[in-house]
């Protein structure tokens, strides 16, 4: 199996400039096995031949490796903490500084449910003063199809399973293709392709100054090997300003050598604050 992983990794690097060497080997092997099973291939070589001849297979494989599943308000406890503590604190601090600007990065945003959930919370918290604020939410991913779906802003019912009725009523409209998100929330988020593991850029190009008050990178590091996780966290450390927040997924954590940059705010929900 390792030989075909090597071959596929090389081809994907050449074609898409995505380095699968940074992903956990176990994940690559199990994803390839699942594809072989789905396609009814028993021989690894048959799958490899198929991979080289079908131009769409690399895209399918990439999507499955990233497991691009998300939903609005996924892990509602995190969003409660954001709504009740983190966002009010940020808003208050900025108000006192007379800055009225908040900058957020959702790294590994899949089809937009995470950055849009944050946008909804901010929109609700700011209420009538919303128009006096500059809210910049940068959302990045390597899955172009997910990014396209995010920009469309229409979601299936299952993506809304953790969405409160009040929010659902205020921000979503039933359309033929599913549930369409209100334009004023869609406008708050800037989506772009960005490989967290690329050595070139530290922050999304659109963010210009690349400094953030809050970074969410949830359920992404879990797919990376240890050194790739470090690369991503080092990028975050460079772009977070002091007293800013980093939120990881439930089963993710910061390497012990990089922990000194942070205080642990809520270890169950993996919420960290820079010193």
Please report how many Cα atoms fall inside a 13 Å half-sphere around the Cα of residue 227, on the Cβ side: 7
Of 2-10, 175-183, 195-203, 260-268, the window that binds ligand SAM (rule: CB under 6 A) is 195-203
Residue from 20, 36, 66, 186 that binds ligand SAM (CB under 6 A)?
66
Of 64-72, 157-165, 171-179, 182-190, the window that binds ligand SAM (rule: CB under 6 A) is 64-72
Report the residue number, 74 or 136, with the smaller CB distance to ligand SAM.
74
Cα–Cα distance for residue pair 11/102, rounded to 1 Å: 40
Cα–Cα distance for residue pair 84/51, rounded to 1 Å: 48
Q: Judged by CB under 6 A, does residue 68 bind ligand SAM?
A: yes
As measured in angstroms, the least distance from the Cβ of 196 to ligand SAM is 4
Report the residue number, 78 or 122, with the smaller CB distance to ligand SAM.
78
With contact defined as beta carbons under 8 Å apart, do 140 and 194 qualify? yes
Report the residue number, 9 or 219, with the smaller CB distance to ligand SAM.
219
Cα–Cα distance for residue pair 8/205, rounded to 1 Å: 29
Residue from 69, 170, 205, 263 that binds ligand SAM (CB under 6 A)?
69
With contact defined as beta carbons under 8 Å apart, do 269 and 81 qualify? yes
Cα–Cα distance for residue pair 6/127, rounded to 1 Å: 53
Q: Judged by CB under 6 A, does residue 108 bind ligand SAM?
A: yes
Pairing status of strand 271-274 against strand 262-266: antiparallel
Per the document, the length of the chain is 275
Size of the residue set binding ligand SAM (CB under 6 A): 22
Of 4-12, 89-97, 137-145, 163-171, the window that binds ligand SAM (rule: CB under 6 A) is 137-145
Residue from 28, 142, 233, 271 that binds ligand SAM (CB under 6 A)?
142
Q: Residues 29, 31, 34, 40: is their CA dihedral positive or negative?
A: negative
Binding residues (CB under 6 A) for ligand SAM: these are 66-70, 74, 108-110, 114, 141-143, 146, 195-197, 218-220, 223, 249
């Amino acid at each position: 199996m390792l030989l075909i992983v090597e071959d596929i990794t090389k081809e994907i690097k050449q074609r898409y400039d995505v380095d699968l060497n940074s992903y956990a080997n176990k994940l690559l092997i199990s994803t390839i096995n699942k594809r072989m099973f789905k396609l009814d291939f028993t021989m690894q070589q048959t799958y490899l031949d198929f991979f080289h001849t079908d131009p769409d297979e690399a895209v399918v494989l990439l999507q499955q490796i990233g497991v691009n599943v998300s939903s609005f308000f996924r892990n509602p406890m995190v969003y409660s903490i954001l709504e009740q503590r983190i966002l009010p604190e940020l808003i208050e601090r900025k108000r006192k500084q007379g800055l009225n600007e908040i900058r957020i990065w959702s790294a590994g945003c899949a089809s937009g449910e995470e950055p849009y959930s944050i946008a909804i919370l901010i929109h609700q918290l700011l209420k009538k003063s919303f128009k006096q604020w500059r809210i910049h939410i940068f959302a990045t991913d390597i899955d172009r199809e997910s990014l396209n779906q995010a920009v469309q802003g229409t979601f299936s019912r299952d993506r809304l399973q953790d969405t409160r009725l009040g929010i659902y009523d205020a921000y979503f409209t039933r359309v033929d293709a599913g549930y369409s998100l209100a334009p004023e929330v869609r406008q708050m988020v800037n989506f772009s392709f960005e490989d967290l593991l690329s050595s070139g850029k530290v922050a999304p190009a659109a963010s210009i100054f690349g400094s953030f008050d809050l970074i969410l990178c949830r359920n992404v590091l879990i797919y990376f090997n240890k050194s790739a996780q470090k690369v991503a966290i080092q990028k975050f450390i460079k772009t977070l300003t002091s007293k800013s927040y980093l939120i990881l997924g439930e089963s993710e954590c910061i390497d012990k050598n990089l922990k000194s940059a942070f205080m642990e705010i809520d270890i169950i929900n993996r919420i960290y604050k820079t010193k």
